[in-house]
Structures are given as structure tokens and as C-alpha cells.
Structure 1
Amino acid sequence: MSSSKLARMAHVCVLALAALSWGAKTVTYDFNVTWVTANPDGLLERKVVGINGQWPLPVIEVDKGDRLVVNVHNGLGDRGCSIHFHGMFQNGTNEMDGPSMVTQCPILPGSSMTYNFTVNQNGTYWYHCHTDYCYPDGYRQALIVHDSDAYFAHDYDEEFTITVSDWYHELVEDLSTEFMSLYNPTGAEPIPSSFLLNDTINTSIPVKPNSTYLFRLINHGAFVGQYFYIEDHSFEIVEIDGVYTEPTEADMLYISVAQRYAILLKTKDTIDKNYAIVTVADSTLLDKIPSDLQLNNTNWLEYNKNAPHPQAIVNVSDSTDLHPYDDLSLVPYDHMPLLPEPDLEINVTVYMKNLMTGYNYAFLNNITYTAPKVPTLYTVMSSGDLADNPEIYGDFTHSVVLNHNDVVQLVLNNGDTGSHPFHLHGHQFQVIDRSPPYGPGFYDYLNGDPVPYDPNNHTAFPRTPARRDTVVLPPHGYFVIRFVADNPGVWVFHCHIDWHLSSGLAMLMIEAPRQIQERVTIPQEHYDVCRAAGVAFEGNAAANTKDFLDLSGQRSQPGWIPDGFTVHGIVALAFSVLSAICGILSIVIYGMADVKNKQDSVVPLDNPNEVVVEQNATGQTKT
């Protein structure tokens, strides 16, 4: 082919690429992450994680197709951090996903890191810290991707972003010490102090009559799901977790932590009164309910700021009496059909168990996720031809290697009495079965034995299943999801209750590792962050660069309690041993003190025949 033809072809390619990028722009945020003080519920002022001296944090807003650049500097002084852009596919930019020791090293105080990727999707998302326990201290906020091509884009007059969350008065570092403790053998999660809407309470959202509004709803809490409804109003669901849906009428939603909805609401033709926006915390997740904890909270859809703002009356004994719309009934607007039979099925069960430490851990099958010594993505990048071998990723990261473009079916059974919102990084998945479904029967299995998924006895899978990136696992029930492994990367699958993630309820999908090596480029700055943190960035899970199959020295979960010991028994034994040690120490200390006192009362004699006469306080004498 002549050079002139090649030049013309290159020119056409450039024009085509330019046409694709018309309207796209680079949106840059500079984040200095520091401590600030705030009092969102009006009950207690406390330290929170702020950005650029402010809290609540800034909402990130981009248009579909934009390049998003976030320059992060850790100015906290006492902890590492990172950012996960929740729901972003990061296709080709796995290194920008954000979970520490998975796709990057933690950003230590004084270090900086740049996240840089193109947003080729649309909808309602959020961002949060993904390093140890960190986002419950306030390090979370909305991320909105506007899309002028959305089918409902011209059907509303204005949009609002509404976040709901639980809130703690104590710092997470203090709560985490109490949570993972010998004194908490049942694994009871810390109880929130209050519940917020848009990081405050008693707030009003001003609306006009005869208007249509798009509300983007996000639960960016750490623990508790919440029911959401607006008195005397219904609405249309048009999006879940970034997936447009056929417009579907509903009057109540259940929003677990990490889930998002977009709804269209048509206002009434009057301004006579204001209407309660009601949120009800899911009481089934709480081991106890303090008398001063307000589960039902009222904010307002404000038609008239001068009209009364009445408190909602919630006529239910507890949250199990509320019946939200079943998200599995939603039909994606693109009508993507049910994926074909899977090439690979992953079958795991949630358990909560105690180990030899006496602490309560969370498990998928018999593994409680334990972070490796090298971020798993960096193990992929440094392992060469061994990248396809799951052994190099460690025995306790629960890593599964997926073949490129395989259809993967994941069956998750629940051996626990709590519900769990599970999130998969890098993907939206089809939810093809869940039992029990939302509605009156959602807690049917709560007081009985677990009911696992039976491949030979289940309801028919939907033709066009709902898709999302976070789905709730019912108590003692199960769900089944499918996705295509078409996004090479290291992706975490985990419970989004932050207490459960930190106690090990996670596993890793090593998706198409050879393609990862071809497509991913880790910036030098990211390696510099590892050096500053003293974290290895080459080698297997044990940081062994010479023999990737030698896992000696890998981080491991604590040992199992020997047969014959119950949880109560091991805790009782631990306390008995502790009491015995304290008792022995007391005897020794007080015994030695008595000997010392007696020794001090003896006067040394130069003459062994000399008689010493002592006089006590009453004047009596003794020899």
C-alpha cells in the first residue's frame, strides 16, 4: 500500500477519533484529604474526613465520555487512604479502581496519587475510601455521570441528588477495636448514633407544583439499609446502579448500602402543604436498638416554605412490615437478554465464625479474606507466564482466575441470619434468581434453617434480568448472578457492610490475567506510593519474587478452634485463663509486698546476742 493511501487512512482515523471525542472534556479535581470538624445530626461535634478543609465532600460531576482526573494528597497525618469510584468499570484502567492491597498500595500520610480514567458510562454512582476502615468517618460522596442521550433526559425540569447514610459519633478506629475483640465474640456490629439525609437532618427539598424532578438516590452509609418513600406520592424508577430501566411505578424502595436509584417524580398542582420524605432504618440489621436511636426520620418535599413541616407517622411495629418494590422485577431499558449457560460457576456460602483469637470473622466458604503482602494486580503484572495460576495469589485471598469472555455464574448462599449487600467491582451483573424475594416473605427463612440454591428446583430465570452492581443477599436465603468476564482486571467481590468487609467477607476475581498484562500500565507514581508505604510491589502474595509458587510467609487467617470447643467455651476459657493470671499476679505482688515490709522492720544486729525491744502504737513492748 502506498504511503499516500496510508496517510489518507490515518487522517480518516484521526477525524473519526476526533468525532467520537467531540464534546468530551477533562474534568480535574484536586483533593487534599484532611481532618475537619462537623456536627451533621446536631448531637455531637466530632472529627470527620474532609477534602480541602470542607465537609460534606464535593460531589463529582462529569458528562459521559469525559476524562476524570482526581489528584489526591493524604494530609490526614495518622492513616492511609485511597479512592474507589464505586460502579466505574475502569475498563483498561484497573490500576485506578482504588482498593488498597488489591489494585494499589495505601496512600500514606504525606503521599499523593493521581486517578485518571475515561468515564464511558452513565448514571448515579459514588466515591469512597477503600483502605481498612475509613469511609464511615465521612470519606464518601456522590459521583454523577450526566447523559444527554438518556431516554428520560428531557422529561424532567430539575434534578436533585439525595444521599442517605448511617452516622457514628465515635471514630472508626475506636469502634473497630471494640468490634474485632475478644469481648465481642458474636460479631455484633457497632450501632449507629443517627441516620442522615444529605449529610444532615430535618432538611427540605424545594419543589414547584406541576413539575417533574429526577431524584438520584444513594445510600453511602457503612452498615444499615434504609426504606425510602414520600407521603402521598408515587414515582417512576428509571435507573438502578447505572442501568437505565423501563419506567416502572413504585411508592417505596429499599436502598441497601452502596445501592443507587434514579426516580422521576411528578409534583402535585397545589402548594397547600409539604410532604414528608420518610426514611426508615432496617432494624433487622441491629443487634439492639438504643432507646435514643431514631429509626424513622422525616425530611420534606417542600411545596411551600411557610406551610407546616409535619413529622411523618410510620405505622409499623418494625421494618419487616414495610414492603418495597422488588428490584428484580425491573427490566433494563436495553432489554439485554439472559446470558447463556455459564462456562464457570462459583458457589460460595456466607458464614460468621470464631477463630482461635476468639474474634468473630466473616467467611465465604472456609476463607476469611486476608490481604496479601503485594497488591494482587501487581502480582499479576510481575508474574509473567504464571499469572494464570491461582496459587500465586495466596491461600487466603480467595482468588478465582476467570478466562477472558467466559460467562460466569456466581451462586451465593447465606448461612447467616443477617442480610448482606454484595458488590462486584468492574461489572454490572444480571440478577437471575433470589430467594426469598423482596416483599412480605423476605424474612421467611430468618428463624429457620438456611435454604441454599437448588439448581434442580428453582423458579424460571427471567428473559431480561435486572442488572446492577450491588444486590442484597436475604437472611438464610441465596441469590444467583451472571456476568461476562469481558473486563480484564483484578476485581473484588465483597459485602459492602464495612464491618463485614473488614472482618473478611470478600474474594477476588482475577479476570483474564494475560490480557491484564497487555492492557494495564501502572504509573510510576503508584510505585512511588508503595515505596513510601514500605509495601512490596513485585512477587506473589508472600512477596516472593524468586519462586512464585513458594507462599512461605504469606499472611494467613488465624487458626481454627479445635473440635470440642464451642464459641462460648473458648471465650470462657480465655476469660478463665486471664482471671487466673490476674489472680496469680495479685498473690505474687501482695505477697512480695508483705515480705518486703517484714524485712524493712528488722534491724540488723552487730551483736547476735543483743536484744531489741520494739514499742507499738499502743505503748506495748515486745522483744
Structure 2
Amino acid sequence: MLRNFCLLILIYSKPCLSAIDILPVADTSVQLQVGREDADPQLSKYIQPNDIASGRYDNISTADAEKIGLCARPCDGAKPMVCYYSWTLENYATVGPACGDCLKGNQSHCRRKGCVTADGFERPILSINRQIPGPSIQVCKGDTIVVDVKNHMLDRATTIHWHGVYMKATPYMDGVPMVTQCPIPSGTTFRYKFPATPEGTFFHHSHHGLQKMDGLEGSLVIRSPRAKDPISSNYDYDLYSHVIILTDWMHSMTDSKFPGRSHNDTRAKPDALLINGQNQVPSDNSPRVPMHFFKVQKDKKYRFRIIGGSCLACPLIFTIENHPLLVIASDGTPVEPFTVDTLTMFPGDRVDVVINCNQEPNLFWIQAKTICDTQITAEAVLQYSSGQKLKYVSKRPNSSAFKRGKSLNAMDINPECKSGVDGVCWSQINALKAPLEPNVVLKPVPDKKFVLAVSEFFYTLDALFWKDNDQYQRFFQASPAIVTHMINNRSFMMPPFPPLTQSDPIPPNMVCPTDDSKCTDGSNVKGGKLCECVNIIQVDLGAVAEVIFIDWGSSSFLHPMHLHGTDTYIIEQGLKPKGVDNKAFIQQLQDKLAKNGANLATTKPKPCVKDVVTIPPSGYAVVRIHFNNPGFWMCHCHYIFHSDTGMSMIFQVGTRDQFIKPPPGFPVCNSFMPKVDPDEFKSIKWDDEPT
């Protein structure tokens, strides 16, 4: 336990203040800033603050919140509101001019508006309203969310994806560039507008290139009235400040690691981790910046919403000292509560937990650490409210201070998902309720069966650089290998325009062939043929599919596969036996699933529901998907270097006459390649020509 700890001694070795004084107290008399210069004047009365997760609004009542137009409010008895957010995306920097003397030990300067401390290392970043993470959106189900994204970044377009939100009424707001919308060019504004549904823990992030890892992400929470929340009996408080985003962090722009380096700083691993955008690197020479504090009261139970905002391949272990974690929801959907010691968080995961604050008032460590490199950690503090002054400091934990114990989603220690092992798989967890239509989702024979095999394509230097074909194929240097990534031996390339909102046919030469023999193997060495193309699988609206995600690659990476537009029902997870041919194993697995399908609604009546499913090396996951949302929906690995080098594909659900049309004036884009006429300019007389 972090006994008699004082943050100011830890950082500055100066006289202590009471721990109570370290964090702001929730203020029920807050006033919103109406008429902000960055807001649309017609919507200024709906503008929401940037600091919802600061703790300032935790104790406000529904009536007081609605009186001042605050959307973060208790949802019981709440009236639907318009929740307007005005965001400026720009090139920014950590510990910049706004931070004053923060690095010299002036903690008040570290808390200045516009000061982004991160881990104290100065570097360029991309920010939303000069914050990392970006502003939190916290609303009630049934509200209308309006976000104006102003792209002030100098050299890049962008989009914002609302991770986990179905977008059933507004598929063109999903935020995937060249799939559901055109990228937002620099200097322009795009308005996202969609209903707040379903309830749950989500997050927003850039879906363009590598921008997410440089700072463009934040939390999104949609609450239902507590009286309608089936898991509310497990906790006393669900505070706006108790949302935790875990991120991996580099000390340079992520672009500098793509497509990779050959001679220096070659690894694509994090330099640090952040908890809610903060961390203090445990080193005598590290900059003196604050950690994040979360306030609680003794003998109360609190719901914490944990978001896997990381981007790289290394999973994170999350733990709270002396406080077991009661898991109550995953990816926004309630589960039958169960207790673990730690969470294993992959990019895109969200897990809601309850902690019982039954310890003596004190301060306790919150830690996130990488699995791949156990020396990389981030710490925050769980602060019990107490009137006592805390005078002494306990030792800050290293990466081995806390045992992993029973860990949720620990695919690295239990890839076979065996029972009785400390690693708990999501396939071993029950949802709180059966699917709304169990006879549809769990029908004995699915309407479709798909196999989505993820793998790498290994280039030879000759094929990539020296062979006289001038193709300039995309690659990633995962030193020493040079690879690209695939689903079903097809490396995804974006179409030249968003097919959801523009009905032109995609040029046939860009569409992936349906003949598997034309896209073979995973290496130039073996004569493999790399297919770089737009990979679209068409599915009838309303169809139920059995999908097998499987790793056919030869790397040691785990793949968190994320599906847009709907959820997956996890039926089975496991590991392919060694020495068994991939196709032979798939056939065996499908035969077993067909045999067990008749009893699926009985043997697996409440499968866990997720939109991110992690596949271990040589592992697989069997899921059911009810394709009840028409549109074009991405499915991709959430490891950012994998998704951006081809480990993606699109499900087209339904036909165009079943799609919801975008609003009038929705932006369009396409390649511009006019015909060339050799005689087009012959008749022009140029001023500089002799007469």
C-alpha cells in the first residue's frame, strides 16, 4: 500500500500539503462558457466544456445540469438534449509555452490551460483543443451529439471515428476516410451529428493514418437512466472523472517510425505509457510533471471505465493496488459480474469495473505496464478522501511490484482458453442477458460462413526495390523483416472515394479478385502473388454469419480485430494445434461447429458481446455476427501499423437501395484524371513567344 504518501514530496521533495488539496473539488455551481469564439453562434447555447472528466462536474444534479445546459448529468428523469462540441485539431507540443515553469518544479504551471505535460518529454503532437486526451463526451442515451471538427493541422487531412457506436441511423458519420466519408482537408470543418445510442463505454479517435497515436483520441460515454441499468446494483457511484484512457506513447511523431528504420531507433515500441495523458517517468533525471489522481471515499463502490487507447502491438496490464476488479461490462455490453486481479488491455478494448473502496483511507497505486517490455510502466493514484495530512512516501512500484494474478483477456498466458488457468478468455464469460433475438443470432445453421485469415507478406529486397516494375508497393520494416499485412492473402487498399456515400462503381482493377488462386502464399521467396486491392465481402441485410478469425502468419503478434457497425458474439477461442495444416484445421473446426450448432442456443445461451476480438499467434476465434445494419463497415486489426499496411477489409451489408442516404451537401471526392489530348494546347498563343 502507498502508505502516508504525498505527491509533492515524490516529485519535488518539498513540504507536504494534504492529499485532499491536490485535486479540485466537484463544483455544483459551475457555469458553462456560452458564446465561445470557437463555437457556431447558432449552437453556442448547447456548447459543452472541454473538462468534463476533471472532477468539477461529478456532483451536479440533473436539474442543475439541465439549467445550465450541461449534458454530463444523471440520466434518471433527464430530458433529451443537444450536446454540442467545438473541436480544433492542430499541430501542438508537449510542455510548450503554456506550461511556463512546469519543468522547473512549478506545479501550478503544469495545470495551466493549454499545458500538455504527457510524461514531461518535449515533442510535437496532434491535439484536440490543446488537450491529451481530447475532450470527453459524456451524455445520456437519446441525446443528440454534434461535433464540429475544425482541421487546423498544417499538412494532413483527418476523420474522427466513434469507436463502438453502431451509427445505425447515420452510417455516413462512422468516420472512416474513403469508406464512409471523404477525409476532412486542412482548413475545413466537418460536422458530425448522430444520436447517442447505445449506452456504454466508447471512445473517439482519428481514423486517418497514424494520427491516433500522436494524440487524437478521447473518451465517449453514453449512460442510460440508473433505474434502467441492469448492473447499477454493483456500485454506488459512476463519476464522469472515473474514465481511464491507457495509451502507449513515443517521444517522436509516429510518422517517423513508418515505414520503419534500418540503422537507429528501429523498434516500433513505446517509449512510455500514459494514464489519462499523464505519467512521470520513474527516473532521477526525468522531468517533474504530475501524475493523475482519482478521488474516492471509504466504503463506497465506484464504477471505473477503462479504455484501451493504445496503438501498438504490446498489450497492457492494468491493476489497482489492493483493490480487486469486479468486471461488469465489456465494449459497452453488460456481463455477468466476475472478479479478477488485473486486466489485459488490447488496442480498442473497453472494460467497466467496480472497485470496493474498503481499505483504510490512504493513497494506492494504479499501474499500467507493457507485457512485451516490462520496464515500461505508467502510474496514477487512487486517492481516498481524508482530512489527515500525509507526510511520508512509500516506494514507487516497479514493473514487478504487483503480481498479475487472475487476468482478464490474457491471451498471452492462456491462448488455448483452458479453464482453471489464471488467464481468463472472453469466450469463458457470459453476457448478462441473452441476445435480443436468440433464435436468430444463435440459429442452428448460420446464413453465411466466413474465414478471415490474418497474415503477413514477406518481401524480398529484389521484388520490392530492384525488380523493374515500378509498382512502389507499400511496406513496413519490422526489422529485420520487410512486410505488408493481409486478410485472406489480400492487402487492403482504400478505394478512390467513399463507396457508402458515392455510388460510382470502384474501378475493376482496384477490386480484389474473388479467385483465391490469384492471391497466394505470403512471400516473394516462395513465388507468392501479393494482391493489393479493395477487399469487400457482400452480405445480405439481416444475415447471420459464422466468422472464424484465425492467424495464419508466422509472427508472434496478437491481433485485436475490430468490427464497425455491429457487434460480435464470441462462441469459441483457442489455439490451432501445432503441425496441423491451416485448411485442414479450418475444415475440422467447421465440422465441429456444424455438429454443435443445433444446440448452440442451449450450450451458449449468453455469449459475450464485443466489437474487438483478439487473436493470439496461431490462434482463432469463432464469432456470430448479425448483419442488421446496412452500409459499408470496416473490419481491421487495431494495431495501427497492421491496419495501415493492409490488415483490413470491408463488409458491405445490404444493397444500395437499403442504405441510408447522406444529407444534402455531403462532401464528395475522387481521383482526378482527365483525358489527355495531344492537340489540346496547340491553338494557344503564349505571351513569351516571338511574333
Does structure 2 retain, via aligned residues, the 8 Å contact 1:401–1:510? yes
Identity %: 23
**Alignment match, 2:367:** 278
Residue 345 of structure 1: how far off its partner (Å): 1.0
For the residues of structure 2 that align with 1:84 and 1:339, how far apart are their CA atoms? 30
Residue segments in structure 1 that go unaligned for 5+ positions in a row: 1-20, 284-288, 437-443, 537-541, 545-623
Does structure 1 retain, via aligned residues, the 8 Å contact 2:273–2:369? no
Whether 2:353 is the aligned partner of 1:263: answer yes
For the residues of structure 2 that align with 1:254 and 1:513, how far apart are their CA atoms? 39
Any idea what the Cα deviations from partners look like across 1:167-212, whole Å, max 9, x if unmatched?
Answer: 0111122111426xxx49xxx8611111111111143322211011
Any idea what the Cα deviations from partners look like across 1:373-412, whole Å, max 9, x if unmatched?
Answer: 1222134x3459x9xx9989x9811101110101012111
Residue 97 of structure 1: how far off its partner (Å): 0.5
Cα 1:142–1:116 change in 2 (3 A) is: same
SS at match of 2:625: strand
Residue 297 of structure 1: how far off its partner (Å): 3.6
Q: How does 1:120-135 map to 2 (within 5 A)?
A: 120-135=197-212
Cα 1:446–1:249 change in 2 (3 A) is: farther
Does structure 1 retain, via aligned residues, the 8 Å contact 2:413–2:423? no
Whether 2:381 is the aligned partner of 1:300: answer yes
Residue 61 of structure 1: how far off its partner (Å): 1.4
Structure number, greater radius of gyration: 1
Does structure 1 retain, via aligned residues, the 8 Å contact 2:432–2:606? no
Any idea what the Cα deviations from partners look like across 1:127-166, whole Å, max 9, x if unmatched?
Answer: 0011122111100111111221212336323430011110
Cα 1:521–1:62 change in 2 (3 A) is: same
Q: AA paired with 2:434?
A: H
Does structure 1 retain, via aligned residues, the 8 Å contact 2:536–2:651? yes
Whether 2:297 is the aligned partner of 1:204: answer no
Does structure 1 retain, via aligned residues, the 8 Å contact 2:210–2:640? yes
Residue 448 of structure 1: how far off its partner (Å): 10
Residue 523 of structure 1: how far off its partner (Å): 3.9
Does structure 2 retain, via aligned residues, the 8 Å contact 1:59–1:141? yes
SS at match of 2:91: strand
Does structure 2 retain, via aligned residues, the 8 Å contact 1:491–1:508? yes
Cα 1:96–1:81 change in 2 (3 A) is: same
What TM-score do you get using the length of structure 2 for normalisation?
0.65
Cα 1:22–1:515 change in 2 (3 A) is: farther
Identify the match of residue 566 of structure 2 among 406, 410, 427: 427
For the residues of structure 2 that align with 1:297 and 1:96, how far apart are their CA atoms? 34
Whether 2:591 is the aligned partner of 1:456: answer yes
SS at match of 1:526: coil
Does structure 2 retain, via aligned residues, the 8 Å contact 1:104–1:375? yes
Whether 2:187 is the aligned partner of 1:110: answer yes
SS at match of 1:456: helix
Cα 1:102–1:189 change in 2 (3 A) is: farther
Does structure 2 retain, via aligned residues, the 8 Å contact 1:350–1:413? yes
Q: AA paired with 1:134?
A: Q
Does structure 2 retain, via aligned residues, the 8 Å contact 1:252–1:325? no
Cα 1:189–1:543 change in 2 (3 A) is: farther
Residue 324 of structure 1: how far off its partner (Å): 4.3
Does structure 2 retain, via aligned residues, the 8 Å contact 1:332–1:464? yes
Whether 2:331 is the aligned partner of 1:241: answer yes
Does structure 1 retain, via aligned residues, the 8 Å contact 2:512–2:533? no
Residue 478 of structure 1: how far off its partner (Å): 0.7
Does structure 2 retain, via aligned residues, the 8 Å contact 1:274–1:309? no
Cα 1:142–1:211 change in 2 (3 A) is: same
Q: How does 1:24-35 map to 2 (within 5 A)?
A: 24-35=80-91
Identify the match of residue 662 of structure 2 among 521, 524, 529: 521
Does structure 1 retain, via aligned residues, the 8 Å contact 2:197–2:222? no
**Alignment match, 1:577:** none
Residue 430 of structure 1: how far off its partner (Å): 0.2
Whether 2:485 is the aligned partner of 1:348: answer no
Q: AA paired with 2:376?
A: L
For the residues of structure 1 that align with 2:585 and 2:501, how far apart are their CA atoms? 36
**Alignment match, 2:652:** 510
For the residues of structure 2 that align with 1:409 and 1:71, how far apart are their CA atoms? 38
For the residues of structure 1 that align with 2:143 and 2:674, how far apart are their CA atoms? 37
For the residues of structure 2 that align with 1:298 and 1:135, how far apart are their CA atoms? 22
For the residues of structure 1 that align with 2:458 and 2:614, how far apart are their CA atoms? 24
For the residues of structure 1 that align with 2:450 and 2:157, how far apart are their CA atoms? 33
For the residues of structure 2 that align with 1:42 and 1:447, how far apart are their CA atoms? 45
Q: AA paired with 2:270?
A: P
**Alignment match, 1:583:** none
**Alignment match, 2:246:** 164
For the residues of structure 2 that align with 1:42 and 1:196, how far apart are their CA atoms? 7
Does structure 2 retain, via aligned residues, the 8 Å contact 1:410–1:480? yes
Residue segments in structure 2 that go unaligned for 5+ positions in a row: 1-76, 96-116, 280-290, 405-409, 415-421, 466-474, 476-482, 515-530, 676-691
Q: AA paired with 1:481?
A: V
Whether 2:540 is the aligned partner of 1:403: answer yes
Q: AA paired with 1:280?
A: K
For the residues of structure 2 that align with 1:378 and 1:299, how far apart are their CA atoms? 44
Q: AA paired with 2:251?
A: H
**Alignment match, 1:173:** 255
Q: AA paired with 1:365?
A: N
